[in-house]
A and B are shown apart, each in its own frame.
Chain A
């Protein structure tokens, strides 16, 4: 019985270690593979764009000029944000209800209110 238990436990451990080693290697290799693919994509796109420009007879620029520092990006983002939020807020700034000038109406006249009517009567 002990021997059977030992065989069972050792086979479980053997299996577990195999799963651990192979499993982790697959995860690592899968992401390394993705890393290389994503490393190549911008290069391939760049190559394609340059080839397209060359075919069209246009001059290709040597370096990309859209790489800014974090501070510059932050400043641009802040400027865009402020611009967008300012654009929404171009209002009079008055928060009071607008006073409407209406023509005279007996319905809003003090003369014909109940108290007014009573006071005027007595």
Chain B
């Protein structure tokens, strides 16, 4: 187990190092003048008059092939894509996300001749990938994913013990401190807001906010903001997949043996009426508090109402199975393809990865410390196991699973999964509210 984690960490560091070393490598084999000459040549058939037809055809074919247009950056990104696929298949790290993203990275980094009207690249208007990518840039996919999440989430543990909701709020400190960190590194406020949301540990929310704030189209102080959708999405999903590696050391560092074995009261049985009222009240309250979070939270609570009402089983089944699967495929592939080496391999990507790691650590620590703080005021029977606070970072359901495993390590009869699901789902709500607030401040 330890070896596995060590290997994963070393591999992740190696990839980041490779990316950083390749920053200077994103230059075409020939210089830009030669490239433009090549493009013109391709447009003009790229053939010498004296050359025979067959040779000229072969030459043109070669100029259009990936081999002629490959750069070191493309190969680095292809390795990153393969690494994602490896992590998903070998270690079962978020395979439903990492496989589509990994394949997307491969698709997005197959070199081709740009600017000759082939309409192949994800950033070329009119290409098929560009149309699919519009679901990301226009913020269409994330709310649909939230609809599916709402239809598959059981909020019973949260309803039965609402004080655990505060842990989900506490963990959002990661978002705002990372926002400040990004400002310190020189990003402008909208870009920093989009980077900060990585601390929400929620992929769809991160993509939604970055598509609104750091989309390469909006203006801030007369300057166009950077397009950071790809790096932010990749960082968010990578760290979500690495939650089992990132969180346990922080959990051990911030808790003592006595705290780790605290047994919490079993959640009470939640009547159906309360389950039905939860999404309706949640939708109305969060909508009024932060209208900008409505696309996400509106769909989340709508999906949950489909599930809990008991009369829309067909719709709930579609939302949590077929629809979320289709959107996950499209989202994963397009986000992966958006990491085209020309756009992705920049200093900013490395900074985003660094800030993302910091935000996950801060968010985890925030949740744990707040649980300890709450314990000061709670009676002996109502104490919260501080490990549960780590699940406040969202990353549903991985962080709750990590809490369960850590709890079992210290007391094999202490099952924390049900309790951890409460801050876990409240983390989703908290990060969506935070995204709405950042959107209203920074857009």
Residues of A within 8 A of B (CB): 12-13, 15-17, 19-20, 22-24, 26-28, 30-35, 37-39, 41-42, 45, 64, 66-70, 73
Contact = CB atoms under 8 A, between A and B. Distances in A.
B275 to A, nearest CB: 11
Interface string B44-69: 00000000000000000000000000
Contacts of A73: 266
A53 B136 CA distance: 53
Contacts of B407: none
Nearest to B427: A31
Contacts of B429: 31, 34
A80 to B, nearest CB: 14
B96 to A, nearest CB: 25
Contacts of A45: 271, 273-274
Given A15-B189, A37-B281, A45-B274, A27 B415 contact: no
B274 A41 contact: yes
Nearest to A38: B162
A70 B438 contact: no
Contacts of B173: 24
A27 B437 contact: yes
Contacts of B180: 16-17, 20
Q: Main SS of chain A's interface residues?
A: helix
Interface in B241-294: 266, 268-269, 271, 273-274, 277-278, 281-282, 285-286, 289-290
B302 interface: no
B179 A20 contact: yes
Given A24-B173, A27-B169, A33 B430 contact: no
Interface string B159-192: 1001101101110110011011001000011001
B442 interface: yes
A38 B173 CA distance: 23
Contacts of A37: 281, 285
Q: Which 5 A-B residue pairings sit nearest by Cβ, starting from the closest?
A: A31-B169, A70-B266, A38-B162, A20-B176, A16-B183
A17 B176 CA distance: 9
Interface residues of B, number: 45
Interface of B: 158-159, 162-163, 165-166, 168-170, 172-173, 176-177, 179-180, 183, 188-189, 192-193, 266, 268-269, 271, 273-274, 277-278, 281-282, 285-286, 289-290, 415, 418, 426, 429-430, 433-434, 437-438, 441-442
A33 B426 CA distance: 13
Contact of B163 (A17, A23, A35, A69): A35
A15 B289 CA distance: 21
Given A15-B189, A41-B277, A45-B274, A26 B437 contact: yes
A34 B285 CA distance: 8
Contacts of A70: 266, 415, 418
A16 B188 CA distance: 10
Contacts of B286: 30, 34
Contacts of A23: 176, 434, 437-438, 441
Given A32-B169, A33-B285, A70-B266, A12 B188 contact: yes
Residue of B162, B189, B418 with highest tally of chain A CB at under 10 A: B162
A31 B366 CA distance: 15
A27 B278 contact: no
